[in-house]
Amino acid sequence: MPTARPSLNPGPAPRHSRIVGVGGYRPRRVVPNSEIIGPIDSSDQWIQERSGIKSRRFASEDETIIAMSSSAAKGALAMAGITADQLGCVIVSTVTFMYNTPAAAPILANELGATKAAAFDISAACAGYCHGIALASDMVKSGTSDYVLVVGVERLSDFTDPCDRGTAFIFGDGAGAAIVGPSEVAGIGPTVWGSEGARWDAIVQREPWNEVVAAGRQKPAIVMQGQAVFRWAVWSMAPVAQQAIDAAGITINDLDAFIPHQANMRIIDSMIKTLKLPEGIPVARDIAETANTSAASIPLATERMLREGQAPHGGLALQIGFGAGLVYAAQVIVLP
């Protein structure tokens, strides 16, 4: 480097980060398995046995990506005890916003009154929330932002083929949100994340938009190689969860909650076994009434566990997201 060039301001001294509030929005309409089974020649019993799902919520017209996100964000802001104008950044994780551009985040920021916030979307499917927490944590730690809103939101019912046996019963709609802010002590452990793009077609929009238009169809559906994804989740994700525990410098016995992506109750049970999670540590099982809401599933489950007293405020929770890409991310967090 030329010596005459002035050195750049390195920014504020690094500090710690933590989640200071969470919120959730569940659409009004409850859809039991009995409403799904007709077109896929299935049964309530099969769906419950294979996935643990009893019902899901489907968004109505007015429960848009922005409206659901806004409601979840307001809950998170209230718990954090801050106002929207204190947000330095808004990150929305979604794969079901109907606009390719602009992103949902600036519209949400405007709706909330977060007039000073940077705002952008990320696309990391069911791992999107954990990706968002990783970004937000680094932003707060480095001083890029004081408070960051992370929203995971999906209207998967818009992208589900009701006649596809592999997916019609599995997806639901909703929004979950978290505020990440500065902390005296470390409140978000290191993120363990990665991708396996060679398996991009394991969970995929059936055809790209240009082919949908060329074929005169209205919109594409998300399809999944169910068994392959199931095996990947069961075999590959428990080691990632263990790495997140190790990276946090704790042991599994220190956890106060396990909040995995709500993909399938059998995947959750199998991860518990592989991780040897001690009995008595509460596990998120929101999937039974909420189904798989992709990016929204972990914050929705977190909000519920705290609200219902299943997990303690200030306790340590392991969260792990995994899905289309294939992509994954996990970290240990201190619950708000």
Residue numbers at the binding site for ligand UT7 (CB under 6 A):
40, 42, 46, 50-51, 126, 165-166, 169-170, 203, 226-227, 229-230, 233, 263-264, 267, 292, 323
**C-beta of 232: minimal distance to ligand UT7 in Å?**
8
**Euclidean distance between CA atoms 263 and 292, whole angstroms:** 5
Say which of 33, 130, 261, 264 is annotated catalytic: 261
CB of 321 to ligand UT7, least distance (A): 9
Whichever of 37 and 212 has its CB closer to ligand UT7, that residue is 37
Nearest to 154 by CA among 7, 316, 295, 324: 295
Output 28 or 165, the one with its CB closest to ligand UT7: 165
For residue 217, the tally of other CB atoms under 10 A from its CB is: 12
- Output 229 or 306, the one with its CB closest to ligand UT7: 229
**Active-site option among 126, 130, 131, 264:** 126
Which is nearer to ligand UT7, 229 or 296 (by Cβ)? 229
Q: Is 280 left (phi over 0), alpha (psi -120 to 50) or beta?
A: left
Residue 202's nearest CA partner among 227, 219, 173 is: 227
Cα torsion angle, 50, 56, 224, 123, sign = negative
Do the beta carbons of residue 154 and residue 274 sit within 8 Å? Answer: no
CB of 263 to ligand UT7, least distance (A): 3
Cα–Cα separations (whole angstroms), residue 315 to 54, 159, 183? 29, 36, 15
Cβ 157 to ligand UT7 shortest distance, Å: 15
**126 an active-site residue?**
yes
Residue 89 is among the residues annotated as catalytic for this protein: no
Q: Are 237 and 189 in contact (CB under 8 A)?
A: no
313 is catalytic: no
- Residues labelled as active-site residues: 126, 261, 292
